[in-house]
């Protein structure tokens, strides 16, 4: 319905423009021949509307048949030179016929006479108007092509983000699920209650991740809740060796961000940091809103003798960088650094406020 509205409005504006041209043409006839205003309008407006329809359909189909990107410019100019001249000649013939009919209705003394100067004027105006209509059609087609390309690019971007999230899940699921099932198996004979709790936590974690879409945004508090589920499950395996601290401001908690954007960072912290230390360590999450920016820091303890974190293949920092670049472009940044026995990742992205649905 909306498309039909725009189509009707476009046609109305197109015809209105031609009616204004008809009024100008009537003024020229009044000035050139001294014709009565009513007779000039009676001649100019119908002939102009007739030519508007002829130009509109003819130029539209020729513009589609001869796209500028696929045809030589010389061939396109030759086609429109011929078609414009032909249309103008036909318009002159139609104008002469209409002038004769008006002479029968009003009398020759009051009707507009299509003399040679008037015919030449009609021919020149007709060629120019035909070319202008063709140029307008080419501009409209180019605008349509650009809008379609933009829509396709947006769809491709959303599909790529969905594929990224699916890939992220396939990377997380196997070894995380394997380790969790091993822990549940070990707990079954020792502490059935804890095994049951861990099974429920594991089910809740995967249920929550499956409900996420990559092109949507979730509040930081939801992302933190997902991390807490993840670390609670890992905590069964690591016990007191794994400690989690968080300092998330109230304003920051309501900010939106891509789902599971922090998951690779925390998983890397567990795998490459805490998992490599005999006495375990600490993972800290800090988030604050600074004006129009959301600043997030994830840091963890690492073994002083271990290789620099984040160089492995698979889930990692580059994945986070690419997802933020796809979502925010240059408005976001990711930086990481290692200082002694601490590895730190800093994320900066636009602070998009959470909106309440009515």
> Is residue 237 in some structural domain?
yes
Higher pLDDT, 1 or 123: 123
pLDDT bucket at 165, cuts 50 / 70 / 90: low
When the pLDDT of each residue in the chain is averaged and rounded to a whole number, the result is 82
pLDDT of residue 208: 76
What is the residue-wise DSSP string for 177-245? HHHHHHHHHHHHTT-HHHHHHHHHHHHHHHHHHHT--TTS-EEHHHHHHHHHHHHHHHHHHHGGGEEEE
Could you tell me the residue range of the domain that residue 299 belongs to?
217-353
**Is the pLDDT at 90 greater than 70, yes or no?**
yes
pLDDT bucket at 357, cuts 50 / 70 / 90: very low
Q: Indicate the residue among 130, 151, 172 that finishes a domain.
A: 151
pLDDT of residue 257: 92
Domain count, the chain: 2
> Is residue 161 in some structural domain?
no
Q: Identify whether residues 22 and 109 lie together within a single domain.
A: yes
Q: Indicate the residue among 98, 125, 151 that finishes a domain.
A: 151
Q: Identify whether residues 44 and 125 lie together within a single domain.
A: yes
Q: What is the pTM of this model?
A: 0.54
pLDDT of residue 211: 67
> Is residue 159 in some structural domain?
no
Q: Per residue in 245-256, pLDDT tens?
A: 999 999 999 999
What 60-66 contacts at long range (C-beta under 8 Å, 24+ apart), as own/partner pairs, is: 60/137, 62/134, 63/134, 63/137, 63/138, 63/141, 64/141
Q: Identify whether residues 140 and 33 lie together within a single domain.
A: yes
Q: Per residue in 56-65, pLDDT tens?
A: 888 888 888 8
Q: Per residue in 208-218, pLDDT tens?
A: 777 666 557 88
> Is residue 202 in some structural domain?
no
CATH of the domain at 340: 3.30.565.10
> Is residue 160 in some structural domain?
no
pLDDT bucket at 339, cuts 50 / 70 / 90: confident
Q: Identify whether residues 35 and 128 lie together within a single domain.
A: yes
């Amino acid at each position: 319905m909306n498309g039909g509205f725009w189509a009707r409005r476009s046609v109305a504006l197109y015809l209105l423009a031609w009616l204004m041209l008809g009024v100008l043409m009537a003024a020229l006839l009044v000035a050139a021949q001294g014709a009565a205003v009513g007779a000039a309008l009676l001649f100019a407006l119908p002939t102009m509307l007739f030519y508007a329809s002829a130009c509109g359909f003819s130029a539209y189909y020729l513009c589609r048949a001869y796209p500028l990107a696929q045809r030589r410019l010389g061939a396109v100019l030759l086609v429109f030179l011929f078609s414009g001249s032909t249309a103008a000649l036909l318009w002159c013939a139609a104008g002469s016929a209409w002038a004769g009919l008006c002479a029968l209705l009003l009398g020759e003394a009051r009707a507009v006479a299509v003399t040679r100067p008037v015919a030449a004027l009609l021919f020149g105006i007709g060629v120019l108007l035909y070319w202008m209509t063709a140029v307008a059609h080419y501009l409209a087609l180019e605008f349509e092509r650009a809008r379609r390309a933009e829509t396709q690019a947006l769809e491709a971007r959303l599909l790529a983000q969905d594929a990224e999230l699916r890939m992220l899940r396939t990377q997380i699921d196997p070894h995380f699920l394997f380790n969790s099932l091993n822990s549940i198996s070990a707990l079954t004979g020792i502490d059935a209650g804890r095994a049951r709790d861990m099974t429920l936590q594991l089910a809740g974690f995967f249920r929550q991740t499956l409900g996420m879409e990559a092109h949507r945004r979730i509040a930081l508090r939801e992302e933190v809740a997902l991390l807490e589920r993840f670390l609670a499950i890992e905590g069964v395996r690591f016990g007191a060796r794994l400690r989690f601290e968080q300092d998330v401001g109230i304003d920051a908690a309501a900010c939106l961000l891509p789902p599971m954007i922090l998951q690779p960072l925390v998983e890397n912290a567990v795998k490459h940091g805490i998992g490599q230390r005999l006495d375990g360590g600490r993972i800290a999450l800090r988030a604050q809103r600074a004006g129009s920016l959301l600043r997030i820091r994830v840091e963890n303890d690492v073994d002083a003798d271990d290789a620099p974190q984040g160089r492995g293949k698979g889930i990692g920092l580059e994945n986070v960088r690419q997802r933020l670049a796809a979502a925010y472009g240059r408005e976001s940044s990711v930086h990481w650094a290692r200082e002694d026995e601490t590895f730190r990742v800093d994320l900066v992205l636009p602070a998009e406020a959470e909106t309440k649905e009515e």
